[in-house]
Amino acid sequence: MSMKRKITREGSRKSARDADPAVTIGAGGEVHQQADGNVPVLTTQQGVPVADDQNSLKVGARGPTILEDFHLREKLFHFDHERIPERVVHARGFGAHGFFENYKSLSDITKADLFQRPGEQTPAFVRFSTVAGNKGSADLARDVRGFAVKLYTKEGNWDLVGNNIPVFFIQDAIKFPDVVHAAKQEPDRGFPQAQTAHDNFWDFISLTPESMHMIMWIMSDRTIPRSFRFMEGFGVHTFRLINRKGKSTFVKFHWKPKLGLQSVVWNEAVKINGADPDFHRRDLWTAIQMGDYPEWELGLQLFDETFAGRFDFDVLDATKIIPEELVPVRRVGRLVLNRCVENFFAETEQVAFCTQNIVPGIDFSNDPLLQGRNFSYLDTQLKRLGGPNFTHLPINAPKCPFQHFQQDGHMAMVNPKGRANYEPNSWNGADGGPRESPDRGFQSYPAGEEGSKGRYRSETFADHYSQARQFYISQTNTEQDHLARALVFELSKCERPDIRGRMVAHLRNIDEDLAQKVAAGLALKELPDSATATRPTRKDLKKSPALSILLNGPDTFKGRKVGVLLTDGVDFDLFIALQSAVKKEGALMEIVAPKVGGVQASNGTWIEAVQKIDGGPSVLYDAVALLVSEAGGKLLVKESAARDFVADAFAHMKFIGHVEAAAPLLEKAGVYDSRDEGFIELDRRGGVAKFIEACRQLRLWKREAAVHLALAP
């Protein structure tokens, strides 16, 4: 009997959550774990018993979060101050300067100054980051990537603090300390670093059904991007745009990379971290230094109250998206990064992003996660940068005129001039200082709010599985396989079988075939019942091609890198032909040789190398070429790093250009008899052009079946 059939027919048919009588599920689908005689009551730091640790205090089920929620404020305040001096999350980052250029006036939907004049360029600073790892962690951890943009507009700084994933783990900011605590290294042992493959994380996730949509995203290839240049960015939350007439339009923000999407595979990511833990940093730095400036387009999903009311899910729920097929993304401008920082600490490390930093014409929604972030970010920067004057640092200071009465404090570098340091005052001229402006000043959208005060989770937030399923079915077969493998890998690092079982119980609500694959990969003896769901999974949601990386890849090899392995005696004319073709494509070619000094070509020309073979493995490149002489090929057979160069390129589905003299190396690497259309012979009869054309596909995914065992027997 196959494993798949065995785990289908057997089992206790008992959900892991059903086995815990202290667990109840709220109206919004959130999990409540109640104290009993053997478990102490959760309290605040002041000893006040906590009635609800899942929901912040709101005005009505879908209303704004109330500032008087002392439990929320205490919890976030303490969390924000846990680490000094590095960021609590997003500690490992890399930034660059650039500009945003508006395509056309958007005055019909917003009065935001940067969107008024076509062609106008607004200075920008962008910081990319991982979330869970410390400053010294590696770039290719499986993790969400921060995509934070600071725009220095003429009416103040606007911080669009987003990620490369459009949803989040939780629906309410009160749970933010918990999800980060669970994802970070376990406190009794201080590891694992920069990864979620451990019991604490999956224990929390398996008890938090609202996370299931995010889990599909983070277990996909989105969390191992090839480069910052090849990934999307999202504002995550629903915001408002306000025009001069006071009309509000809901908006979701997207950043679309001009070079298309691309990720690596997991085995490749692991090896990149060993070969070059600064892979993403180096990639961005090199591209900018070479003048190959990374570029994204800003896209807007615009909708009104009527659409929000009839949408199948709540637009205030940060665990949900609005599919692009339902509300198309309108591209309104471009973001270009064209200058590296001059000092990493002064700029990248000290830059402070706050979601509360918006400008006239942009406003918030009542998304409870966004409301909590607005409180938390400022508090975090006060602690991390030593006080309230972090805005005096050049990287954080507005580039437009600014005047206020705020003074003194730790490290005050600029204090107001004049006699008055208060308002209203009756002093005239400079002594009186600045005055408010009802016409130009920021005014919040006057949304009507009503409802009783309480700790709520709106029932419209209660469907935790339908969009998770939609994401999964929108992936190609290759991507679905990668996602399943990622789940198996991560859950295999959990020591407790009950945690693995709880996760499979959730997966059954998303896709039965996915659950079966993961259960088989974990060798579960019994298949648990589906987890209790507040709302049944909808099977009618259509596939969304926009959610797939492979369906949104480029049709060019531009911006990618070819690693060329050379030996003495290389055919010089063939080398020049390949070099010319790669350059014409807009890609980069890097020379790898047995010795870093270089090689002597067939005509006596010396060709300098960038990498020595054991320091330039094929995982650093998007495709490889083997330009070796007959004698050089025979020598490389004895070099283990050269064999790995070829074997890894094959295993990672890369295109391999080669000359006939490379046959002994292909044979020694164990791939000679497995040659497929991904092997292109480089000759003077069109082989170079054929190789470049093949590279535009990025990977030969059909090869994957030959290099991996199936998940289920």
CA dihedral over 400, 403, 404, 407, signed as positive or negative? positive
Give 708's Cβ-side CA count (13 Å radius). 19
Domains, the chain, ranges and CATH? 78-392 (2.40.180.10), 403-442 (no CATH), 555-697 (3.40.50.880)
Q: What is the pLDDT at residue 91?
A: 87
Mean pLDDT of 554-568: 97
Cα–Cα distance for residue pair 595/573, rounded to 1 Å: 21
| In the predicted structure, residue 85 carries a pLDDT above the cut 80 | no
DSSP, residue by residue, 580-638 = HHHHHHT-EEEEEESSTT-EE-TTS-EE--SEETTTS-GGG-SEEEEE--HHHHHHHTT
Cα–Cα distance for residue pair 212/196, rounded to 1 Å: 15
Q: Are 309 and 453 in contact (CB under 8 A)?
A: no
Cα–Cα distance for residue pair 672/241, rounded to 1 Å: 59
Strands 588-593 and 611-612: parallel
Residue 563 DSSP code: E
Q: What is the pLDDT at residue 348?
A: 95
Mean pLDDT of 526-548: 96
Q: What is the pLDDT at residue 5?
A: 33
Query: Rg (Cα) of the chain, in Å, rounded?
Result: 28
Mean pLDDT of 155-180: 96
Q: What is the pLDDT at residue 11?
A: 36
Mean pLDDT of 265-281: 97
Give 446's Cβ-side CA count (13 Å radius). 3
Q: What is the pLDDT at residue 441?
A: 84
pLDDT band at 713 (very low <50, low <70, confident <90, very high): very low
Instruction: Name which of 549, 552, 570, 584 is nearest 693 in CA terms.
Output: 584
pLDDT band at 710 (very low <50, low <70, confident <90, very high): low
Q: What is the pLDDT at residue 18?
A: 46
Q: Are 233 and 296 in contact (CB under 8 A)?
A: yes
Cα–Cα distance for residue pair 316/332, rounded to 1 Å: 24
Mean pLDDT of 169-183: 96
Among 198-202, 264-268, 389-393, 412-416, which is the least confidently predicted range? Answer: 412-416
Q: Which residue has the tokens 């920008």?
A: 124
Q: What is the pLDDT at residue 102?
A: 96
Cα–Cα distance for residue pair 486/469, rounded to 1 Å: 16
Mean pLDDT of 146-162: 95
Instruction: Name which of 196, 94, 194 is nearest 146 in CA terms.
Output: 94
Segment 655-694, tens digit of pLDDT: 999 999 999 999 999 999 999 999 999 987 899 999 999 9
Q: What is the pLDDT at residue 20?
A: 53
Cα–Cα distance for residue pair 276/617, rounded to 1 Å: 10
What is this structure's pTM? 0.89
pLDDT band at 709 (very low <50, low <70, confident <90, very high): low
Mean pLDDT of 510-537: 96
Across 199-236, b (16+ Cβ under 10 Å) vs e yields: bbbbbbbbbbbbbbbbbbbbbbbbbbbbbbbbbbbbbb
| In the predicted structure, residue 700 carries a pLDDT above the cut 60 | yes
Tell me the residue type at 107.
Answer: S
Segment 642-657, tens digit of pLDDT: 999 999 999 999 999 9
**C-alpha separations of 315 from 12, 159, 633 in Å:** 38, 21, 60
| In the predicted structure, residue 141 carries a pLDDT above the cut 90 | yes
Mean pLDDT of 110-121: 96
156 three-class SS: strand
Residue 248's DSSP bridge partners are 242
| In the predicted structure, residue 351 carries a pLDDT above the cut 90 | yes
Q: What is the pLDDT at residue 83?
A: 61
Kindly report the average pLDDT of the chain as a whole number: 91
Assigned token pair, 368 = 């409870």
Neighbours of 120 (CB within 10 A): 16
Q: What is the pLDDT at residue 631?
A: 95
Mean pLDDT of 113-139: 96
| In the predicted structure, residue 408 carries a pLDDT above the cut 90 | no
Q: What is the pLDDT at residue 12?
A: 36
Q: What is the pLDDT at residue 7?
A: 32
Q: What are phi and psi of 154, to 5 degrees?
A: -75, -10
Q: What percent of the chain has pLDDT over 90?
A: 76
Segment 611-634, tens digit of pLDDT: 999 999 999 999 999 999 999 999
Mean pLDDT of 526-532: 95
Active-site positions read: 90, 163
Q: Which residue has the tokens 């220095």?
A: 152
58 three-class SS: strand
Which stretches within 350-414 are classed as H helix?
368-384
Cα 525 to chain centroid, rounded = 35
Cα–Cα distance for residue pair 534/197, rounded to 1 Å: 27
Higher pLDDT, 38 or 459: 459
Q: What are phi and psi of 699, to 5 degrees?
A: -140, 155
Cα–Cα distance for residue pair 517/484, rounded to 1 Å: 7
pLDDT band at 436 (very low <50, low <70, confident <90, very high): confident
Helix axes 572-585, 687-695, angle to 10 degrees: 30
Higher pLDDT, 38 or 522: 522
Cα–Cα distance for residue pair 124/105, rounded to 1 Å: 19
Helix (H) or strand (E) holding 363: strand 362-364
Q: Which residue has the tokens 């706050």?
A: 354
Cα–Cα distance for residue pair 233/148, rounded to 1 Å: 9
Instruction: Name which of 250, 55, 321 is nearest 171 in CA terms.
Output: 55
Segment 392-403, tens digit of pLDDT: 899 999 898 888
Among 266-275, 442-451, 531-540, which is the least confidently predicted range? Answer: 442-451
Cα–Cα distance for residue pair 208/211, rounded to 1 Å: 6
Among 130-144, 258-272, 389-403, which is the least confidently predicted range? Answer: 389-403
| In the predicted structure, residue 81 carries a pLDDT above the cut 80 | no
Strands 679-681 and 145-153: unpaired
Q: What percent of the chain has pLDDT over 70?
A: 95
